[in-house]
Structure 1
């Protein structure tokens, strides 16, 4: 099997996992507060990443970093998982999954915009056009099709969803200067973020956790969305001979996610969700043209 085929398999497995997490979020939040869910998911993620590092023979790397890198782990842990997932879970707690999930996908566009001031990249006309198309989709979904009224179904929930894209994009901007092994870095971020999450959870919601479906869904999120999916996507990017083909797989995820949302959560998918999602994916596709052009340019230079 070629490296590209392996990359596509890893990518498809990741997309399948990503497609289930919106449903898992809502199942967990039926009986858990966002901070309780975050605590459970963070603990599950730490365990699964520790197992992965041990199986890969990279556990020793956890103890071989510099003092500066451990301090960096504390700072990045406050962003992800602490701030990012609290804001994201807050959005899913207030909005239907079919609304929160597509809005979160605009983080890739936010990343492109933030790369201009912080990474010195150029903003092209296609980026501006992609933004207009994407955020037209956001307005359609957030207003449930009542675009002319500009009356949002849940302004705070929409704010949380869009805020999560800003936090996540900022995290990846910071991560561009991260020299740690990716899995080791994520493991330490979560490990140092866990005490902060536990303290906040204890002071606000308490530790009286329900058992059953909500608990299982929170563990699922920690194991697969926060842990396994990250490792699989890392493998996909490492194996890929053509990264744009693998990256394009993410466009499958939000549509497949609607299938799980409909059949498992029982949400009636509104026409505005389909229209808005197509606009958001269309805008992200336009933005991807920039990446493809850069790859083609690099290929010609080689």
Structure 2
């Protein structure tokens, strides 16, 4: 992977990770257009650069993450991440197979787009306006909703925000809790990919993620640069999203997903992108 390719994918990750448009789906499309989506390091890279996006949340909400007097906050995140950890562990191979399918992304972008068009009207009477009002049981349910994002194109952010709103959270509180939940979820996914998961090394053998990462200076450089770029872009994207959400809700993200899904289907149909 070249530095240019790493920067492009990292920009896509930073822009889309916390928006309800599916970062995984966009990275699959980006790597397909670059012609590197079948490479093992690309698949690892698309998970590993989530570290940069995680740090953007921690930096923006650092007071929340170092408030050790409020243990309930950490317990909620711990409980909410359990469903994703269990399903991710049990169905890792099936999830990996889906990650190679731009057609899956196109379909889920379209379906999710139509849902976002109506989501604001579906949940108009929130009862929870602060994170501390979220119960442990509601946190677990939101975490279960997040598991829908294991299907590429669904969007972890969209699934957890919709789950939050279904649990009576206001739009802003649901969005912020989605950001908070991203930290343990993405940290676990990255740790699993780097330390525990076996990847093909291109010569018929298998390597752990960190071994594949350290196998060449190009991989290391791509990893470092990618995480820095993803961190900076994610900082800007989070600030934009909260302000935009307050003014406009989810409708415009729905329109975007529908248009993006149609364009992707056209690219697949014309052979510009191969499934």
Q: TM-score, normalised by structure 2?
A: 0.49
Q: Which has the higher helix share?
A: 1
